[in-house]
Amino acid sequence: MTELDPVIHAQARLRVVASLSALNVGDKIAFPRLQELLAMTAGNLSVHLRKLEDAGYVEISKTHRGRTPATLVGLSRRGRLAFEEYTEAIRALLDPAPSKEQP
């Protein structure tokens, strides 16, 4: 059995990554909007985003919109790939390929 990516294989971070994967490639979403989509507290979301950023799965950039600072969050290429591999692995667990021999 393939090892499931421990960074993604946690409920909260899986929700974060799944949400970000729904954005188009090359897009980023503002932190408050992501927080609203996930219904998480700011502190909680920050903690999980930091773990995802440390793994190189998420890119966080800080810019200014007019005078107010804005934090933008998006999935990195590596993060998108990791999410796709994780989803594949989950699907394989649920529906093992018929060619595999039963023990």
Partner 1 sequence: MTGSPRSTLCLKVVCVDPDDDSPPTDAAAALRLIQDQRSATARRLDPDARLLYWPWGVAWLVGFGLFFLRFPPGDRALVALPSWLPLTVLFVLLVAAGATQAVVSVRAYGQVTGDSARRGQWYGYAWALGSVSVYAGLGRISEHLPHDLAALLWSATAVGLTGALHMAGGAVWLDQDLFRLGVWISVINLVGAFAGPGWHPLVVAVAGGGGMLVAGALARRRQRQRQQP
Q: Are 3 and 84 in contact (CB under 8 A)?
A: no
Q: Are 30 and 96 in contact (CB under 8 A)?
A: no
DSSP character for 26? T
- Tell the smallest beta-carbon distance from residue 42 to partner 1 (Å): 9
Which two three-digit tokens encode residue 10? 């946690």
Q: Which is nearer to partner 1, 53 or 87 (CB)?
A: 87
- Tell the smallest beta-carbon distance from residue 29 to partner 1 (Å): 5
Interacting residue ranges for partner 1, rule: CB under 8 A: 4, 9-12, 14-15, 18-19, 21-30, 32-33, 37, 41, 43-44, 46-48, 72, 74, 87, 90-91, 93-94
